[in-house]
Structure 1
Amino acid sequence: MPVLSKALRCGLLAAGVGALLAAAGCSTTDTFEQPAPVPEVSGGVEFDEVWDMSVGDGHDGSLLYLGPLNAGDTLYAASADGDVVAVKTDNGSLVWERELDDRIFAGVGGDAGHLYLVNRKAELIALSRDDGKELWRTALPTEVLAAPQSNGSLVVVQTTDGRVLSFDTAKGERQWQYESTNPALSLRAAAAPLVGGDVVIASFANGKLIALAADSGQPIWQYDVGEPSGRTELERLVDITGQPLVLDRALMVVGYQGKLALIDIQTGREVWSTKASSLYSPSVADGNIFLSLANGDLVSLQGSDRQELWRQDKLAWRQLTQPVVVGDHLVVGDFEGYLYAVSLKDGSLQGETEFDDEGIRVPVQPLGDGKLLVYGNGGRLAVLKLQPSE
């Protein structure tokens, strides 16, 4: 692990474990591990394009996470320069397009009638899902990186300084605010809150997972996914940057330099936990758990006892996205814009394609029937389909 100089005084932000962003006047020492070269893939499956299009300038070279919103037959996507589009899922035909006079920092979130974005000025913006018309906007205390989340009656945002705020979806009036303590150093990434009818689940840079009452913002329970330890601020990083995975009446959560845990969603009681370090949400299929570790290794764990079944280390330090299950494969993207298909059974690399030379930061989204939605950093939005290689 590298050491960040002047971490406390300058408040440097580590952009995952593969890259660093430094505040003006600050510096870093050492470097992270060099990423593994793009591996050779023997074949098995290939990524066939169903359709693709360009959405503005994508992430515009900024460290943003502007994931598209899948609403069934319609997809919604936004770019950093304010281009918002609604397109048909099956063929990519344009339903509507709106060019906002805003630099977008977070989104897209949504509910039955609204889309939600946060701009660079820290304003929460609500648009109509029907035509993209602006319905309201309201000021936030500071910047937001994770997409706003809504249950239809309230929309919740989480700021980078550890605050969770709830707003009425009709007019954007603030309902409540919860404040958490933020460490001196944190990763420049954040998990979107989970918003249910009665409870909001928020993940924080201090390693805590907290359940809040949806109507009041009052804490219900708290669970420590990670506890800071070590002498340097970098060693003490315990951010939770992947949204917890809902499994019936339980939550599966993993943190950086923390643990992978299954907890009861009503009480916060731990069912089991095991040491782990990851920046990404876990995935589950066929009774097994799949993780992309902080160093880029992909691992499969047996769900019953968390014993390791296989490990794929050929993608080490390539800043992988969250591993997503698509049919019989895990699909991940990397910082150079490659997509990989990995066998769920044994972890072998079975497919590879270069998608966006500016990289892929947001996870792919499965659409069923072997199809997946991909949004590259450069603005390429596409639906691909995994097919057996000829």
Structure 2
Amino acid sequence: MSIILRTRGVGRRGRRTPGWAGFTALAALVLAIGPGMAAPGPEAAPDPAAVAESHGRGAHARDWPLSNGDLTNTRNVTRTAIDSRTVKDLKVKWRLPLEGKPTFAGVMASNPIVVGDTVYLINLDSDVTAVDKETGKVRWKRVFDSPSVGPNGVAYSHGLLFGTTFTGVFALDPATGRTVWTRELIPAGQGGIDVAPHVYEDTVVVSTVPNTFGKYVPGAMGTIYALDAATGKERWNFNTIKDGDLWGHPEINSGGGTWYAPALDSHGRLFVTIANPAPLPGTPEYPNGASRPGPNLYTNCLLAIDSRTGKLLWYQATAPHDIRDYDLQDPPIVTTTQVNGVRTEVVLAAGKMGKVFAYRADNGTPLWTLSVGTHMNDEGPLPDTPTVVMPGILGGVETPMALSRGRLFVPWVDTPSTLTATGGLQLPDYSVGRGGLTAADVSTGKVLWKRDLPQMALGAATVANDVVFTSTFDGQVFAFDTATGKTLWCDKTPAGIISFPAISGNTLFVGAGTPGLSGSSQFELIAYSL
């Protein structure tokens, strides 16, 4: 059930610092869920050339400079020879061992980026490595030794490389790894940072989360920060919990924040998907989340924020008063499609509730909703007796979608959880997990085809021309025909995959950085090339 709301905004603006010039384009993001209503004021017309540059990659048209490729989060490349005819010829070009102290998630859960002749990646210790794109040789490595659960990441813009530790943000010289600036955002033990930076104009956006390695910190609230890209100085911040006292019980409750990059549209609207409230499902004293009455805004919401000021323009709640860990967390996508015969900018969003939502980008009007995967006992209060719920806490749409030529590609996970009104929030038996990839018409939400996969689809969707790639927890990488879903290519990596690939030129970069089902510790970044 969705909640439609209007607001005048609660952003907090910092002192504007001198920034870099120009690059006024923004690109859109799709966040869906909850019929959104908004009343933004008049907006200046964007510069068409800047918009075109933003929605693409501008000077980096052949690169992958952001976690999802571009500002609209499409995960789609066309300037490559990889297509349905050539994909069968992909072969391993080089392998780079991935280093780091493995957490329960392994050593890598992020998206490498590619700029020019260099691949940049970050591990779950927040250590950054620069790698020669052609040879796989390490050029430099910067050690931060700041463990994160991910998905973290790096981003490139205006000649700087941006990343996060578990408590702060940094900018590096991409040629040497030298520190340009750092900024601490959250004290140790009060939460963390798991998200890849997103860079637009001369601004870097990140978010804190209210948990540390899966344990929620009572009283903690996720906050979105916009920083000057040149200096790291704060421009504005936005508290993702509307009620500052955490619904009356700050000694128990927490919530909010985001763990994937937002998106930007051509009117300067920043779309952000927000994570769940806690505790989940409840406690013996407060079953079914009774310690946090009401919809628990802005958790599990899509926010539309003025990217220049931090003012909230509108929001939508997709899973109000969540008790099943149904984050609206997937990175939104922005595109243009036909709505009642008129070309209209829309945003697409999805989350762990196993649903995809399409909305008008200007005001959040709902267009369609698509359910993916298995749904069982996924609404209403939970009973005191153990109840099997699907999607479970590791389920639904966990990792990024992709968009190409009017088709939306949605990776999804089917794993059950057994919950009660007061508990049961435990990770499932990974071996029973399954997944799939669904292709849908972006105008209608109609399913075009669906492929079931042998394991959890935790490797996102990524498109090269008429080929869509995805990967599974057991280390398999698949390529499907975007029009039919026909399998075109498959390879098996030595470890599991929960990171997301990048494509640059004629090369696909895949990180196999989690033990998966086999328990393998042979973690590698693999370059597949024609």
Residue by residue over 1:283-329, the C-alpha shift from the partner in whole angstroms, topping out at 9 and shown as x without a partner, is 233432221123212222234433223222233x5243212223433
Q: CA deviation at 1:189?
A: 7.9
1:328 to 2:466 alignment: yes
Q: Determine the C-alpha separation between the residues in 1 that align with 2:499 and 2:258.
A: 11
Name which one, 1 or 2, has greater alpha-carbon Rg.
Answer: 2
Residue by residue over 1:307-361, the C-alpha shift from the partner in whole angstroms, topping out at 9 and shown as x without a partner, is 223222233x52432122234332112222221223333334343222231x111
Residue by residue over 1:199-258, the C-alpha shift from the partner in whole angstroms, topping out at 9 and shown as x without a partner, is 32211012211121222211112233x22478xx22xx3312221112143322112226
Task: Calculate the TM-score normalised by the size of structure 1.
Answer: 0.75
Q: Determine the C-alpha separation between the residues in 1 that align with 2:109 and 2:156.
A: 15
3-state SS, counterpart of residue 163 of structure 2: strand
Q: After the TM superposition, which residues 105-124 of structure 1 pair with which residues of structure 2 at under 5 Å, given as runs?
A: 105=148, 106-120=152-166, 122-124=167-169
Q: Determine the C-alpha separation between the residues in 2 that align with 1:127 and 1:196.
A: 27
1:33 equivalent in structure 2: none
The structure 1 residue matched to 2:439, chosen from 272, 292, 300, is: 300
3-state SS, counterpart of residue 279 of structure 1: coil
Q: Determine the C-alpha separation between the residues in 2 that align with 1:337 and 1:269.
A: 39
Shift of the 314–173 alpha-carbon distance from structure 1 to 2, 3 Å rule, reads: closer
Point out where structure 2 has 5 or more consecutive residues left out of the alignment: 1-86, 211-221, 248-252, 276-298, 337-344, 373-395, 415-434, 515-522
1:361 equivalent in structure 2: 498
Q: Determine the C-alpha separation between the residues in 1 that align with 2:307 and 2:444.
A: 34
Shift of the 72–260 alpha-carbon distance from structure 1 to 2, 3 Å rule, reads: farther
Q: After the TM superposition, which residues 124-163 of structure 1 pair with which residues of structure 2 at under 5 Å, given as runs?
A: 124-141=169-186, 142-161=191-210, 162-163=222-223
Q: Determine the C-alpha separation between the residues in 2 that align with 1:354 and 1:188.
A: 34
1:227 to 2:227 alignment: no
> Which letter does structure 2 place at the counterpart of 1:100?
V
Kept after mapping to 2: 8 A contact 1:163/1:179: yes
1:65 to 2:109 alignment: yes
Q: Determine the C-alpha separation between the residues in 1 that align with 2:92 and 2:408.
A: 28
Kept after mapping to 1: 8 A contact 2:226/2:235: yes
Task: Calculate the TM-score normalised by the size of structure 2.
Answer: 0.57
Q: Determine the C-alpha separation between the residues in 2 that align with 1:279 and 1:187.
A: 17
Residue by residue over 1:38-71, the C-alpha shift from the partner in whole angstroms, topping out at 9 and shown as x without a partner, is xxxxxx9364112232342386544663321222
1:103 to 2:146 alignment: yes
> Which letter does structure 2 place at the counterpart of 1:147?
A
Q: CA deviation at 1:188?
A: 11
Shift of the 130–376 alpha-carbon distance from structure 1 to 2, 3 Å rule, reads: same
Kept after mapping to 1: 8 A contact 2:225/2:237: yes
Q: Which has the higher contact order (CA 8 A, sep 6+)?
A: 2
2:122 equivalent in structure 1: 78
Q: Determine the C-alpha separation between the residues in 2 that align with 1:89 and 1:356.
A: 21
Q: CA deviation at 1:157?
A: 0.7
1:24 equivalent in structure 2: none
Kept after mapping to 1: 8 A contact 2:197/2:206: yes
Q: Determine the C-alpha separation between the residues in 2 that align with 1:203 and 1:353.
A: 33
Kept after mapping to 2: 8 A contact 1:324/1:330: yes
Kept after mapping to 1: 8 A contact 2:354/2:412: no
1:201 equivalent in structure 2: 271
3-state SS, counterpart of residue 297 of structure 1: strand
Kept after mapping to 2: 8 A contact 1:155/1:169: yes
Q: CA deviation at 1:112?
A: 1.9
Higher strand share: 1
Kept after mapping to 1: 8 A contact 2:127/2:141: yes
Q: After the TM superposition, which residues 306-345 of structure 1 pair with which residues of structure 2 at under 5 Å, given as runs?
A: 306-315=445-454, 317-345=455-483
Shift of the 217–71 alpha-carbon distance from structure 1 to 2, 3 Å rule, reads: same
2:260 equivalent in structure 1: 191
Shift of the 320–79 alpha-carbon distance from structure 1 to 2, 3 Å rule, reads: closer
Residue by residue over 1:347-380, the C-alpha shift from the partner in whole angstroms, topping out at 9 and shown as x without a partner, is 34343222231x11121123254x3111221652
Q: CA RMSD in A?
A: 3.0
Q: CA deviation at 1:145?
A: 0.8
Q: Between 51-60 and 242-251, report the one with greater CA deviation.
A: 51-60
Kept after mapping to 2: 8 A contact 1:56/1:82: no
Q: Between 323-332 and 208-217, report the one with greater CA deviation.
A: 323-332
Shift of the 188–163 alpha-carbon distance from structure 1 to 2, 3 Å rule, reads: closer
Q: In percent, how many aligned pairs have the same letter?
A: 21
> Which letter does structure 2 place at the counterpart of 1:364?
P
1:15 equivalent in structure 2: none
Q: Between 71-80 and 176-185, report the one with greater CA deviation.
A: 176-185
Kept after mapping to 2: 8 A contact 1:67/1:107: yes
3-state SS, counterpart of residue 45 of structure 1: helix
